[in-house]
Amino acid sequence: MTNDPATPVARIGADELTPSDPTPGMSRSLAMHDAGMWTGVVDTEPGSVSGWHHHGAHETTLYVVSGRMRIESGPDGAEVVEGGPGDFLRVPAGAVHRESNPGGDMARAVIVRCGTGDPTINVDGPAGS
């Protein structure tokens, strides 16, 4: 990434997204990963629950475009947040969590992660397990 004011705006088309960072139960597609920022989308089937994972040193924000998203985190996964279209969900760096789709329609969220290192680390379970 550059701080050059002459650098033009770029477009990444939907047909240019590539499969990325697999976690069981969800499908992520990468738009861009450059200079500490990961950008893409995640699609989750109705009734699907992902595996437990965290995003290392990356702070993550999800913007729910469609469907419902539920995120479990904290000791034994007891903290639960849920969002729908138009909601933002924040996942702090290192927070072990899993995502699910409690609704009857496909869920899609836009993801932006800022940080360094591997953007997704799959683990066996939440803290306290």
Is pTM beyond 0.75? Reply is: yes
Class of 39-122 in CATH: mainly beta
HSE of 50, CA atoms in CB hemisphere, 13 A: 30
Q: How does pLDDT run across 72-81, given as a tens digit for each residue?
A: 999 999 999 9
Using DSSP's 3-state secondary structure scheme, residue 16 falls into helix
Average confidence (pLDDT) over 21-43: 91
Q: Parse the chain into domains and list their residue ranges.
A: 39-122
Rounded Cα distance between 34 and 19, Å, is 16
DSSP state of 6: T
Three-state SS letters, 99-126: EECCCCCCEEEEEEEECCCCCCEECCCC
Instruction: Determine contact, residues 91/97, Cβ cutoff 8 Å.
Output: yes
